Structure 1
Amino acid sequence: MVTLKKIYTSIGLFFLIILLGIIGFTSWYTVDESEQAVLLTFGKIDEGIIDPGLHFKMPWPIQDVKKLSKETFSLQFGYREENGEVVEEFPEDTKMITGDENIVLADLVVQWKITDPGKFLYNAKDPENILYNATSASLRGVIGSSKIDDVLTSGKAEVEANVRDLLTKLMEDYDIGISILAVKLQDVELPNEEVRKAFTQVTDAREMMNTKINEANKYSNKRRQEAEGEKDAIISKAEGDRAARIEKAKGDVAVFNALYNEYKKHPEITRKRLVLETLDQVLPNADVYIMSDDGGTIKYLPIRPLEGNQVVPTPKQQDSERSGKNE
């Protein structure tokens, strides 16, 4: 016969087994390498990020564990992508006005991760939605203070950097445990085909202008280098001429000093020698003779170099020839 005592005992044993099971299954937990966890004691954060491995705690409901991923997440602003393909676009989110009052469509990707699980879980109801709205505000603020040329061409890197800095500041102010790793603009384009075509033409013209400027600078540098080379060559030649003239002047001085010393020793001989040398320099092709008078008959001695085998007669032979002719 089943008594009331046995019923109470059975119920007590049942609850005891359940309690022991809860204690056994909730007194330990594991944290994977790709996870981070936060330990709660009566709903209050007791510990922050816990190292990977096996850990023990007080059984539920005294202590509880919340686990979050350590991976890097991607926020796709202005579109939704699945398996590498865009499956949905949000043009109303991406339509913005630049600082020079032009309309552009801009979307981007934000790389972020959870750095404080406690703040991510309990400082905001929907931190990812806050991140999305903060991204929109940051991008619109930067685009709104930029010119359309910078946004569409060479200023994209600066836009990305400014959006990253502004979004990082907002996340620090909101204090929701999120860190921004990178911001990358995906597409920045004009709203319709006609505007895109006109802007493309302007961009092509600007690129052609830059090309011509680069070519002109290249030609200018080439001509400048050639001019520098010619200048150096002229200077070098002038330096060589200067050195040669200095050496020649030194040689002339040495010759003059030598002549002067000889002149002091033998002035008459040196004077005649100088006269003859000067005549030879001034009249190189002239016939030079040494003349003398002797009793009415002029005798001369040609000193021009002999030409061929012609024999020049001596003064006596010349007198004999004259006497024969007179007879």
Structure 2
Amino acid sequence: MVSLKRIYTIVGLSILVLILGTVALTTWYTVDESEQAIILTFGKADEGITEPGLHFKMPWPIQTVSTVSKETYSLQFGYDQKNGEITDAPADTKMITGDENIVLADLVVQWKITDPAKFLYNSEDPRQILYNSTSASLRSIIGGSEIDEALTSGKAEIEADVRDLLTTLIAKYDIGISITAVKLQDVELPNEEVRKAFTNVTDARETMNTKVNEAEKYQKKRENEAKGEKEALISRAKGDKAARIEKARGDVATFNALYAEYVKSPEITRKRLILETLDQVLPNAEIYIMNDDGNTMKYFPIRPLENQTQTPPVTEEGSEKNG
């Protein structure tokens, strides 16, 4: 028959082995390079550990370890992709633009866990908070944008605005995550008929822009031509001005020279000027210089003498023919 003392000894040794085994198994833990850990001391979170390798702690139940990944997660808003198949969620993606048009918009949010303690214990479901914040941010930005911006050239600006607003909301909720990127996937109209009408409007706008550009190009061309003509007229006017100034200077010099001669011989100069003026006014008239002494009138035929001086000399061959 086993004694009571022996039973107590066996039970005590069993408890001691159990305690030693628990201590041996729960006083160390490893952190992988892609993980980060947090120590809980009687349920209170201590500072997180990010260095990979073997670490030691107080045995359970004094301290416990929780680990989360360092990887970058993707939140797919408006659709779900599993096994290569995409499932749309139109109830989430349907929203109204600032000019009261309906569009379907979805995006992908890249995020990481930056504070494991807050991620694990500050909220019951941080992923759902992120999803709701993404929906609120996208709807807010789309609601303040016009449909043209959302469908065409404004996508990059919408992405940036959504990221800024979402980052602000996540920081306010303090759930231990950070947003690394926001990528707007698709923004489209709800049905084919509306898409076709919008395409027609877009084509008409592009045609208008083309015509406006052509008109502006023609306007610039005509302005350049007008500027060229203006410069040519100004240059020609400056040339005429210079020519007239030089001509006036020449006339002044001529007048001064005549005046000097007039001072020396006024009567001769006056007669000369009269004759030159008559020759200019009546170029084809016969001019005679007459001297009337009261008896017989004598005259000096100028034109015949000019013709004689201008007649070419007669050659010997011409003389023989006339003879």
Per-residue deviation, 1:159: 3.2
Where does residue 227 of structure 1 map in the other structure?
Answer: 226
In structure 2, runs of 5+ residues without a counterpart are 315-323
**Alignment partner of 1:304: what SS?**
helix
Structure 2 residue 133 is the aligned partner of structure 1 residue 134: yes
* TM-score normalised according to structure 1 size: 0.77
Per-residue deviation, 1:77: 0.8
For residues 86-144 of structure 1, give each alpha carbon's deviation from its aligned partner in whole angstroms, at most 9, with x where no partner exists.
52211221122334443322211222223333222221122111111111122223333
Q: 1:152 to 1:20 in 2, by over 3 A?
A: closer
Between 213-222 and 278-287, report the one with greater CA deviation: 278-287
Give the partner amino acid of 1:162: D
Structure 2 residue 308 is the aligned partner of structure 1 residue 309: no
Q: After superposition, where does 1:94-243 map in structure 2 within 5 Å?
A: 94-243=93-242
Q: 1:24 to 1:40 in 2, by over 3 A?
A: closer
Per-residue deviation, 1:11: 4.2
CA contact (8 A) 2:107 2:185 kept: yes
**Alignment partner of 1:309: what SS?**
coil
**Alignment partner of 1:46: what SS?**
strand
Between 10-19 and 273-282, report the one with greater CA deviation: 10-19
CA contact (8 A) 2:113 2:176 kept: yes
**Alignment partner of 1:181: what SS?**
strand
Per-residue deviation, 1:79: 1.0
Q: 1:258 to 1:132 in 2, by over 3 A?
A: same
**Alignment partner of 1:59: what SS?**
coil
Where does residue 42 of structure 1 map in the other structure?
Answer: 42
In structure 1, runs of 5+ residues without a counterpart are 312-327
* Alpha-carbon distance in structure 2 between the residues aligned to 1:49 and 1:245: 96
* Alpha-carbon distance in structure 2 between the residues aligned to 1:287 and 1:65: 136
* Alpha-carbon distance in structure 2 between the residues aligned to 1:49 and 1:281: 117
Per-residue deviation, 1:258: 2.9
Where does residue 325 of structure 1 map in the other structure?
Answer: none
CA contact (8 A) 1:57 1:63 kept: no
**Alignment partner of 1:125: what SS?**
coil
Per-residue deviation, 1:37: 4.1
Q: 1:114 to 1:247 in 2, by over 3 A?
A: farther
For residues 160-207 of structure 1, give each alpha carbon's deviation from its aligned partner in whole angstroms, at most 9, with x where no partner exists.
333233322221221112222333322222222222222222222222
For residues 223-277 of structure 1, give each alpha carbon's deviation from its aligned partner in whole angstroms, at most 9, with x where no partner exists.
1222222222222222222222223222322332233233223323332333343
Per-residue deviation, 1:289: 4.6
Q: How many residues align?
A: 305
CA RMSD of aligned residues (A): 3.4
* Alpha-carbon distance in structure 2 between the residues aligned to 1:39 and 1:289: 138
Between 220-229 and 98-107, report the one with greater CA deviation: 98-107
Where does residue 251 of structure 1 map in the other structure?
Answer: 250
